[in-house]
Amino acid sequence: MYNVTLIPGDGIGPEVANATRAVVDATGIQINWEEVNAGEAVYEKVGTLVPDEVYASIEKNKIALKGPITTPIGKGFRSINVMLRKKYDLYSNVRPSRNFKGIDTAFNNVNMTIFRENTEGLYIGEEKVIDDNVTEATKRITREGSLRICKEAFEYAKKHGKKTVAVAHKANILKITDGLFLECAREIAKDYPEIKVKEVIIDNMCMQMVSNPSQFEVVVTMNLYGDILSDLAAGLVGGLGIVPGANIGKDIAIFEAVHGSAPDIAGKNLANPTALILSAVMMLNHLGETSKAKIIEKAVEETLAEGKFRTKDLGGNATTKEYTDALIAKIKAKI
């Protein structure tokens, strides 16, 4: 029995969270879902975006699955996601993007996993006003933070039989900050002589990704660059609706869909739960439940390939429930 914190979020969050829970439960795995919530709807009820019970649940269970959350503009946290990552030192943001048969895109051979440093860089949020015409933001890169995210990327490559790791940087201009990150990547790479290292300047990286994305297997980079590159990678494979995400620290891991809360379609049974379902696949792999994870992943692959049940954002007409039921049927047939 696993104890997992479930944070549905708001907007389409509850719909995709309920769908994901049903899909995971269909495998027969024993999970005690401890549901707590955060976000705009919670703020309107209790006056805080993240109630204490959310922190308590995460700290107790160590594993959480989180739906999309709307951050109110002008009040509360700058970003709930950023806050949780910093609070629990979830330094490794892992976002795999790959093609699925049946979803037409410009490229048919994309399969890359981006490792984004999750707690440093410009996202520390240290800004100040110099005068009426000048503002300033601090970018902080540390040796410890750089070494550990690079280690995660190379370990992943080794475990999954990947031949290359691309290090995205701007050390040609930012010689101190990005220079330190690149130095750390080179240091870690020495322990993995079987893996080829590609050092790619960030602007060139963007160009290469949209011209020949299949050359990239594992990418490791700093916070802001990783945020941009992971959305770019999602665009190559069909959008954020099919891209999962994980935020992993030493003791705690939070798995989440990286797309928004889409309030315009909330409650209409139109939401695509694939991203959160695949995030749950990542969660199961993290827990060591690889066979259950594979069953869900195959069900998603087959359902999307067949094309009978696809949500509107993927070019189909299926409702959230119809798509979820189709996945569950395939899962039960495999067990």
Q: Which residues are catalytic?
A: 123, 170, 203, 227
Sign of dihedral through CA atoms 78, 242, 207, 160? positive
Nearest to 274 by CA among 97, 93, 79, 62: 97
Closest C-alpha among 209, 274, 204, 217 to residue 235: 209
Query: Are 99 and 109 within 8 A, CB to CB?
Result: yes
Half-sphere exposure of residue 304: CA atoms within 13 angstroms, side-chain side: 25
Say which residue the tokens 């101190």 belong to.
176
The two structure tokens encoding residue 252: 């705690």
Cβ 36 vs Cβ 53: under 8 Å: yes
CA distance 94 to 118: 9
**Residue type for position 92:** S
User: What is the 3 state secondary structure string of 174-210?
Assistant: CCCHHHHHHHHHHHHHCCCCCCEEEEEEHHHHHHHHH
Rounded CA gap, 204 and 209, in Å?
Answer: 8
Among left, alpha and beta (phi > 0; psi -120 to 50; other), residue 206 is alpha
